[in-house]
Each structure stands twice: as C-alpha cells, then as structure tokens.
C-alpha cells in the first residue's frame, strides 16, 4: 500500500522521537509518497531547530542523513488546488500540499499533526493510525 507521509513523521524518526517505533511499524512494508517539497521542508525544520539551539550543527547533519535515507517517492502536487484547500481551511500551504497529495494519489495520510488530521477527516482522507 502507498502512504502519504507528512514531514513531521520523517523528523520524528530522524530525531528519535517517542513516536519513532510506531511510525516504523505503521509504514513497514508500505511505499511512502510525499509532495516534492519534502526535502526542503525537512531542511527548513532542521535548520530552525539548530538556529534555536535545540539541536547542534552536527545533529542537524545526522538528522538530515537519517531523514533522507528513508525511501520516498516525491510527487508533483497541484499547487493551485492545494492553495484553495489552504484558503478554505485556514492552513499553511505546506500542510495543504500533503492533503492534496493524499487526494491526488487516493492514499491514506500519515501525520502527527492534530490539525492536519482534523482537516483530513473533513476531506474524508483516510488516516494511518499508530499502534
């Protein structure tokens, strides 16, 4: 099965967050898909953590290596349609890209973001649950 995975799931695995084991279990044997902006969004999140001194520059590089080692197919997203979702639900475009990707691919969404989960539910997008 294909699963659209949100940026926060890659970060949680790369940064060894408590959800890591559940995320690995939920995705084991499945193909991951994400909007083509994923690497840039991961990079931005990691640099923000380093800038705020939450992680060191060395940890930033290690986290990038870990996140980028996860196999994922990067998909082109209809930006206009995603922007319409963002405007309608009052969310960031980056979040809307993942929702649009899930709609376009007809795949379930894996995210740790409660707000994104709520909007996905309103859009009848199937969600992947962690055990």
List the chain pLDDT tens, one digit each, 131 residues. Answer: 999 999 999 999 999 999 999 999 999 999 999 999 999 999 999 999 999 999 999 999 999 999 999 999 999 999 999 999 999 999 999 999 999 999 999 999 999 999 999 999 999 999 999 97
Does the CA dihedral 27-86-36-77 come out positive or negative? Answer: positive
Query: pTM (2 decimals)?
Result: 0.94
> Can you list the domains of the chain with their CATH numbers?
2-122 (3.40.50.1010)
User: If 0-12 CB within 10 Å is exposed, 13-18 middle and 19+ buried, where does residue 126 land?
Assistant: middle
Tokens of 24: 């690995």
Helices 38-51 and 7-14 cross at an angle (nearest 10°) of 50
- Give the Cα separation of 79 and 58 in Å (integer): 34
- Give the Cα separation of 79 and 84 in Å (integer): 9
Does the CA dihedral 76-81-85-90 come out positive or negative? Answer: positive
Helix (H) / strand (E) element for 8: namely: helix 7-14
């Amino acid at each position: 099965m294909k699963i659209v995975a949100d940026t926060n799931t890659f970060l949680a695995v790369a940064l060894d967050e408590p959800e890591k084991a559940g995320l690995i279990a939920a995705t084991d044997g499945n193909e991951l898909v994400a909007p083509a902006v994923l690497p840039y969004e991961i990079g931005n999140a990691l640099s923000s953590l380093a800038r705020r001194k939450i992680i060191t520059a060395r940890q930033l590089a290690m986290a990038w290596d870990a996140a980028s080692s996860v196999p994922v197919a990067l998909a082109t997203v209809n930006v206009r349609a995603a922007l319409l979702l963002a405007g309608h639900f009052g969310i960031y475009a980056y979040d809307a890209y993942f929702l649009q990707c899930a709609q376009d691919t007809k795949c379930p969404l894996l995210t740790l973001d409660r707000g994104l989960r709520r909007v996905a539910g309103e859009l009848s997008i199937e969600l992947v649950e962690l055990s």
